[in-house]
């Protein structure tokens, strides 16, 4: 399977699964069907839209409307089935796992499309991470939830790891399907481990005995 075959597959997977996560967020807010579809489409195409704009490419869902149709269908399915997840905790966990799948697919997809457009390795990895995270940011803003980027969870790191592995393997001449599978599996594995075992990166700690306000005041005085 070459790059021209795997790119659309990853794009559809990312759109559909992110649309599911957006619709699940709408279900937690007990919104109507139109809101489900709006959440699903905005979440599903958000990351890919930013990717294409940065690369100067035609926006993918404008060129091919089936992406929007896929996102709407995914949202409609969730509208009629979300009640099967009775506990709010279960529905939220499902949202997180669906988001993890979408993130993994889009991390590889973003990096692959960047490479195809002629971007160097480092920008390709960055665009993979941006593509993987921006849809979730839009979803959280719409749902008035704390952004996934501001939670003390491993998320962007997982996207970067998956995108970097894909770019590295692609640079070594590994088959696109193998490189994509490896990169996606790594991204999903890291994010899944964070969800299952509460993995976290070390957070910044203020110096002992000082509040954040005191530290900022001292820095301001030094700058003067």
- The model's pLDDT over 14-40, given as tens digits with 9 standing for 90+, comes to 899 999 999 999 998 999 999 999 999
Burial string for 188-200 (b: 16+ CB within 10 Å, else e) reads: bebbbebbeeeee
pLDDT at 150: 74
In the block, residue with structure tokens 């070594």 = 172
- Looking at the structure of the chain, the number of domains it has is 1
- The model's pLDDT over 48-96, given as tens digits with 9 standing for 90+, comes to 999 999 999 999 999 999 999 999 999 999 999 988 876 655 778 888 8
Whole-angstrom distance, CA of residue 37 vs CA of residue 23: 7
- Cα–Cα distances in Å, from 26 out to 78, 139, 163, 203? 10, 9, 29, 31
pLDDT at 222: 61
Whole-angstrom distance, CA of residue 107 vs CA of residue 166: 9
What's the chain's average pLDDT? 88
Residue span of the structural domain in which 69 resides: 3-223
pLDDT at 10: 80
Q: Is 124 exposed, middle or buried (0-12, 13-18, 19+ CB in 10 A)?
A: buried
Of 7-16, 92-101, 162-171, the least confident:
7-16
């Amino acid at each position: 399977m070459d790059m021209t075959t795997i790119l659309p597959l990853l794009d559809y997977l990312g759109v559909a699964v992110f649309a599911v996560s957006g619709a699940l967020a709408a279900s937690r807010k007990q919104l109507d069907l139109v809101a489900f579809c709006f959440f699903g489409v905005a979440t599903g195409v958000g990351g890919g839209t930013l990717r294409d704009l940065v690369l100067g490419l035609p926006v993918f869902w404008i060129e091919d409307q089936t992406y929007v149709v896929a996102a709407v269908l995914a949202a409609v399915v969730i509208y009629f089935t979300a009640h099967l997840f009775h506990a709010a905790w279960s529905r939220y966990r499902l949202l997180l796992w669906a988001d993890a799948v979408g993130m993994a697919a889009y991390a590889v997809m973003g990096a692959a499309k960047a490479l195809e457009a002629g971007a160097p390795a480092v920008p390709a990895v960055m665009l993979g991470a941006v593509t993987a995270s921006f849809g979730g940011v839009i979803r959280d803003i719409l749902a008035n939830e704390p952004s996934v980027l501001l939670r003390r969870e491993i998320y962007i790191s997982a996207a970067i790891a998956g995108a970097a592995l894909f770019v590295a393997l692609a640079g070594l001449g590994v088959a696109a399907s193998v490189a994509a599978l490896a990169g996606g599996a790594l991204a999903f594995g890291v994010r899944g481990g964070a969800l299952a075992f509460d993995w976290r990166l070390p957070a910044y700690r203020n110096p002992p005995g000082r509040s954040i306000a005191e530290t900022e005041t001292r820095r301001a005085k030094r700058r003067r």
